[in-house]
Chains A and B, each alone.
Chain A
Amino acid sequence: MSQTENTLDHVEVQLGSVAAYTVGYVLSILLSGLAFGLVYTHALPRPVMFGALCGIAFALILLQMFLFLGLNLNPGHRWKTAATVFTLPILILMIVLTIWMFYTLQLRVMPH
């Protein structure tokens, strides 16, 4: 039985709290509801809408990374955060360079 108690004392087991999950849940529903409402009511002109939706997506991702996945800089979790931060440049390179490459390809090879 003592093994179970030691196991449950582990820093990974104790990560997160009911409050963090509940706040994360409520804010996720509210922000995605806001994004849906903007699209459903056609509240904004197209370029502004694009910026607003990207902003909401960014906020939602950060919110869930901190409140659901529990990213932090405590010694027990530092390496998870470091690995995640070092993955970001790869993600940005993959997506942004692909968009850029195909955009300029379109400009260079398609007849205007």
Chain B
Amino acid sequence: MAFDQTATPRLFEERTPDLIGNRTFGFWLYMLSDVIIYAALFAAFSVLHTHYAGGPTSQQVVEPLHGFIDSVLLFSSVWLLGLGMRSMAVGERAMLIAFMGLAAIVALGFVGFESYDFAHALGKGESPQRSGYLSIYFVLLGLHALHIFVGILWMLLMMVQVAFKGLTEPVVSRLLNLKIFWMFQSVIWVCVFVFVYLLGAVG
């Protein structure tokens, strides 16, 4: 093969700033640091999960069926947002808004169901102050529920932006970050479901 003198060496190639690539990579690193916060909480959970201090045990606190219903709701929301992202990739704004709306509604069901569980536990006197186990239970699940709540607000905001601004480069990069955020919450939920709900029920 002959040497192509017109080809510029890659090192000197002029690069256009890649807004979407830079923003999604930066947000990806941010989400990895978020995962490290969760890892610290799971490390605390691994120590505190048997520290009942005479209070209710994990078998009395967690309801594995509720954990499974929460899983189905959250995975459904992630799937719906994924379908919305595919609509975005082909430029279907209306479908993107519709799928995001559905994903937000399903996620609202998740937060509502978890809040009901929290209120029920608090009503029985199972407050975070009661024992080390209940402290880490409320902090871990509460932080995850807070993330989901923030994600719902983010979806509502993006629905407005897609409707009024269209699929411009900044809007698309925010949508991609929202997707990364949402799918990381799904991975974290797997750990919450298996280690807090299921192993908690096994005891």
A residues within 8 Å of B by Cβ? 3-5, 7-8, 10-14, 16-18, 21-22, 24-25, 28-29, 32-33, 35-36, 39-40, 46, 49-50, 53-54, 56-57, 60-61, 64-65, 68-69, 76, 79-80, 83-84, 87, 90-91, 94-95, 98-99, 102
Select the stretch in B72-80, B122-130, B137-145, B147-155 that faces chain A: B72-80
Other than the given A25-B75, A35-B193, 20 more pairs (CB < 8 A) read A7-B20, A8-B89, A13-B176, A18-B83, A18-B86, A21-B83, A21-B86, A22-B79, A24-B82, A25-B82, A36-B65, A50-B199, A53-B198, A60-B190, A64-B186, A69-B187, A87-B35, A94-B43, A95-B46, A98-B44
Is B146 positioned at the interface, with any CB of A under 8 Å from its CB? no
CA distance A16 to B32 in the complex (A): 20
- A-B contact list, 23 entries, CB within 8 Å: A3-B169, A4-B166, A7-B167, A8-B91, A17-B86, A18-B86, A25-B82, A29-B75, A32-B68, A32-B71, A32-B72, A33-B68, A35-B194, A35-B198, A39-B201, A46-B202, A50-B202, A57-B191, A57-B194, A60-B194, A61-B187, A68-B187, A98-B44
Choose from A14, A50, A95 the contact partner of B43 (Cβ within 8 Å).
A95
Residues of A within 8 A of B32 (CB): 83-84, 87
Q: How far is the CB of A45 from chain B (nearest CB, A)?
A: 10
B98 at the interface (CB under 8 A from A): no
Q: Is the interface of B mostly helix, strand, loop or mixed?
A: helix
> A3 touches which one: B42, B65, B168 (CB < 8 A)?
B168
Contact between A49 and B86, CB atoms less than 8 A apart: no
Which residues of the partner chain A approach B65 to less than 8 Å between Cβ atoms?
A: 36, 40
Enumerate chain B interface residues (CB-CB to A < 8 A). 20-21, 24-25, 28-29, 32, 35-36, 39-40, 42-44, 46-47, 64-65, 67-68, 71-72, 75-76, 78-79, 82-83, 85-86, 88-91, 166-169, 172, 176, 180, 183-184, 186-187, 190-191, 193-195, 198-199, 201-203
A44–B186 Cα distance when bound, in Å, is: 27
Of chain B, the residue at the smallest CB distance from A11 is B21
* With A12-B176, A102-B47: A57-B190 Cβ-Cβ less than 8 Å: yes
Shortest CB-to-CB span from B168 to chain A, Å, is: 7
- Please measure, in the bound complex, the distance between the C-alpha atom of A12 and the C-alpha atom of B199, giving whole angstroms: 37
| A94 proximity list for chain B (CB < 8 A) | 36, 39-40, 43
Give the complex CA separation of A24 and B183 in angstroms.
Answer: 11
Bound together, the chains give a CA A25 to CA B79 distance in angstroms of 6
Task: Report the 7 A-B pairs with minimum CB-CB distance, sorted nearest first.
Answer: A21-B82, A25-B79, A98-B43, A57-B194, A36-B68, A68-B183, A60-B190
Contacts of B28 in A (CB 8 A): 80, 83-84
